[in-house]
Structure 1
Amino acid sequence: MPRSSSKLRESAQRILNKLPNSYAFTKALGEALAVEAMDHIPVMILRPSIVIPIWQEPIPGWTDNINGPTGLLIGAGKGVIRSMYCKSNSYADYLPVDVFINGIMIGVWNYIHYGDKKSSVINFTSSAEIKVTWSEMIDAGREIIMNRVPLNGVVWYPGGSMKHSRLYHNICVFFFHWIPAVFIDILLFCLGYKPVLMRVQRRINKGFEVFEYYTNNQWDFKSDIAQTVRQRLNTRERRDYKVDAGGLDISKYFEDCIRAARIYILKEYDDTLPAARRHMKVMWFVDLVTRCLFWGFVFYWLYSWTTSFGSSATTSNVFPAAVVMES
């Protein structure tokens, strides 16, 4: 079995070539097939950037999965993600799913109405209008979860940071992800509950393997065709088929995302918010006490070490002098 697994990995690397993962490979493969068919049948390629939860309708913030930024905010909000390998000042290009759906309808309308085959490949992106860095996104999500929409069953008070060094990140993951997960799972097992955190950390680690490629690289996409198509809409159509970032409040949007994830993914309803806020205050106090005890232990150990080192150095200097006096 290990030999076949090794061969499978080698085959995967050979097939992927320079592409980072199977996700990018399958998208490129699908586009290649579509391009081959363009001369024979009406085909359009509509490329969204990172698709994120609904902005406006039908349900603000709704999504059916925890991929991408939503999973990151939930993990950080639960206290199980304390470190992330990422260029904090770089930005990712996001596109709410309802905006992309509007873009599909407008793109198809433009293709049929104007017969413009030069517009058969359209990039739907947002970075030309609005840029949100990873640091800004995490800070906004943390403030919302700590003060406005806390999650139930928070394992630890939300904290941590983004790391530019993979080595430093791996060290932090070991101490602040894996060790607490092992400790808490052992405690749960002893109390008769099912261990869960090790499984959660494995899923987080697997997700990071794909996610890190995109958080440590940045691309600027051209959206000239999408901008041209948008200019062909009248005022009512621009309002009804929203495909621009006008009126977007980033803080409000992420709050909607967290509220929707809380209800539709985590099944944590609004009647549990008061208890979640109380629990968050308790975890803040526990985090504060733990930090004080940790740094107190570190300073005590350093003080004890320097004191014992100074005492041993004094003893070693006095001993030769005593020998000389006796002789």
Structure 2
Amino acid sequence: MFLTGVTGYLGKVLLVKLLSVCRNLPDNSICVLVRGKKELSASDRFDKDLFNESYIFKQLLKDRPDARKAIKVIDGDVSKSKLGMTPTDYEWVSNNVTSIIHMAATTNFNENLRLAFEINILGTKRVLTLAKQCKKLLSMVYVSTCYTNATRHSGTEVREKVYPINFDPYEVIKDVTAMTPEEADKATPHIIGNHPNTYTFSKMIAEHIVLEEKENVPLAIVRPSIIGGAASFPVAGWADSYIGAAGLVSATGLGVLHGMNGKGSNIVDFIPVDYVVNIILSACWHTAANPPGERMPIYHAASSTRNPYTWEDLRAIVVGFYRRRPPKRVVGSVWCIFIQNPFLFYLYHFAFTRLPATIQDARRVVKGETPKMVAGAKVLYKACHSLSFFTLHSWLFAAHNTMALWESLSEADSVIFPFDISQLNWEVWSVLFCEGIKKYVFKEINDLENKGTERKFRSKL
């Protein structure tokens, strides 16, 4: 198996799942593409970020001390020709790999368009080229996003298909890759049109390239919505960074986020990270067992049509949790509201975030400390602005293929790889997510108010 993107949140959980479930893997049977960083080689970075520092990998090693032997780390970069691999490594993958899961991407909403194209589009194209040369390939899964179709009207159904576009994606790729990063920045609003950011636009084009060039590759696409904390695996509520959904919950819990430019009654399409992993692995198995031929099945890893949940529901639970159990690093009162009007939201942000930050910085200067609160308030406002498109709009992501995939699992496999979102209790999940952020992101891992309460919530989930 060949994996990209394993150092990311989703990739870590998927790799731990594989190593936990497949207990008799031969040495080097899971091949991971990792980019070296600064003074660290790819292998050293992989060991440092995952096996040496990640909580879930440390827990894995307690049960499987030899787990690292199953992994072959290859130095590479999806933004480089032939994925940045040496000829020897490229040939090894071509001769030995039977399945590919491509998760690597830049998920930065405000990424430079040139770089977003290089990683999200051309990187995917390079992985597909590799797949065509793999002599033993049985399946490939490309991880995209539900929001490739974010230009569709709010409230409408988005089906599990690649929708037609009114431009030639190859011409756009040619134009953008010929630009300098500075030129791409200036041209971005014109090029992406109604898309909210370079991330959704580049992933949308990548899907069209995959559809056009897949040829005989047995390939499926998995589209996650907003990935949140784990429902149960590797531990309930697991989160490990301030990225994505965890960032919003963290900022609210710390008392720095008091408002969002959005509509509370809109659906917040969360999906637990372990459900996404289980859908990916199930799709990988199903594609190998039932080659799709010319078809390219698409699976929505989403909750909006099967078990809808609103932003207001989430807000109430998050605020209630952190008022009862504030983090040690809390910097202000915990509350948050939704404001639909952008101008009113700006005034609200200025009054309750920017102005208090200015006062706090003034106090810091008087004390001889470095002012940093205003800078943080600016970052927070920018983040809220980037997310406003998704809090002001909502879609209904059809999940017919995903449910058919679920029903194809045996009873035993459905226990090992659960992803029936209709059975998830959102209230319980939200509390566990808040708990997970407190423990694993805020590093208050031993600050459990009541371990019995956590066990009770897990059993309910």
Number of the residue aligned with 2:373: 197
Which residues of 2 match residues 147-296 of structure 1 at below 5 A? 147=324, 149-245=325-421, 247-271=423-447
Number of the residue aligned with 1:137: 314
Could you say which structure has the higher strand fraction?
2
Number of the residue aligned with 2:275: 99
Equivalent position amino acid for 1:140 in 2: I
TM-score (norm 1): 0.76
Equivalent position amino acid for 2:314 in 1: M
Q: State whether residues 150 and 273 of structure 1, in contact with CA within 8 Å, keep that contact through their aligned partners in structure 2.
A: no
In 2, distance between residues paired with 1:31 and 1:245?
25
Which residues of 2 match residues 94-133 of structure 1 at below 5 A? 94-117=270-293, 118=295, 120-133=297-310
Establish whether residue 57 from structure 1 lines up as the match of residue 233 from structure 2.
yes
Number of the residue aligned with 2:255: 79
Unaligned runs of 5+ in 1: 275-327
In 1, distance between residues paired with 2:337 and 2:300?
32
Q: How far does residue 100 in structure 1 lie from its aligned partner after superposition?
A: 0.8
More moved, 7-16 vs 220-229: 7-16
Q: Tell me which structure has the larger Cα radius of gyration.
A: 1
Q: State whether residues 219 and 296 of structure 2, in contact with CA within 8 Å, keep that contact through their aligned partners in structure 1.
A: no
Number of the residue aligned with 2:218: 42
Number of the residue aligned with 1:29: 205
In 2, distance between residues paired with 1:22 and 1:94?
21
In 2, distance between residues paired with 1:272 and 1:63?
16
TM-score (norm 2): 0.55
**RMSD between superposed Cα atoms in Å:** 2.2
In 1, distance between residues paired with 2:448 and 2:395?
41
Could you say which structure has the higher helix fraction?
1
Q: Give the match's secondary structure for 1:140.
A: helix
In 2, distance between residues paired with 1:208 and 1:23?
16
Number of the residue aligned with 1:306: none
Q: State whether residues 78 and 151 of structure 1, in contact with CA within 8 Å, keep that contact through their aligned partners in structure 2.
A: yes
Q: State whether residues 68 and 211 of structure 1, in contact with CA within 8 Å, keep that contact through their aligned partners in structure 2.
A: no
Identity percentage over the alignment?
Answer: 21
Superposed CA deviations along residues 225-266 of structure 1, whole A, max 9, x for unmatched, are 111111111222111110112553323322222222223222
Structure 1 residues 111 and 5, CA gap change in structure 2 (3 angstroms)? closer
Q: Give the match's secondary structure for 2:227.
A: strand
